[in-house]
Structure 1
Amino acid sequence: MFEIDFAEFPSTSAEASGRFFERAFGWPATPYGPDYTDVRAAGLTLGFQADPAEQARAPLLTIRTDDLAAAQEAVAAAGGEVTKEPFAFPGGRRFHFREPGGSELAVWCPDA
């Protein structure tokens, strides 16, 4: 199973981004420290990353899978380049990759 269920955006203030979406649209925000906030909306989670060292250059679409290792093998076999090896984060593990056209995306797997 592969489905897009998360989009991460660079932000100068994750807290301010979360508050904005709560106030403007009523979407609940969950802060994960000073540099990261999730906003849940219509079956999709929006993440706001304020740590410049962790920010992607553009919005980062994230694909959910049940098998991270198999997804990483499939990305490599299809010509993608892994830009961040698998790492843990609150809720699971993920890796980042660049597809042949240059866009960076991520694949994640929830904790079992």
Structure 2
Amino acid sequence: MQKLKHEQIQYIEFLSADIHRAKDFYNKCFGWRFTDYGPNYTAFEGDYVDGGFTTGEPINGTILVILYSANLEATRDKVLAAGGIIVQDIFSFPGGRRFQFTDPDGYELAVWSE
């Protein structure tokens, strides 16, 4: 487990209508690795934040998770190839560029780069 940072995001938990589908999507897009804890929960461990997926009906709009990419276009292509839907294509903002997409459960996430 990574070193915990005071007052920083440490764990993100998603609801998923299909945990297997969520694992497949996030593995294909970002290389996340998962540990299953029974049929209704899977966890992922990252360098900067950990999280998990539990069985349930997704609720859109409750949180926007933002990921970093060193190659925004390549990451967008992987999201599309894995079945994600681009809801806001690459745009510039002060400090970088980003795009937003929905995953197979309908969650909206963003990916940014310098």
Shorter-chain TM-score bucket reads: 0.3 to 0.5
Q: TM-score, normalised by structure 1?
A: 0.48
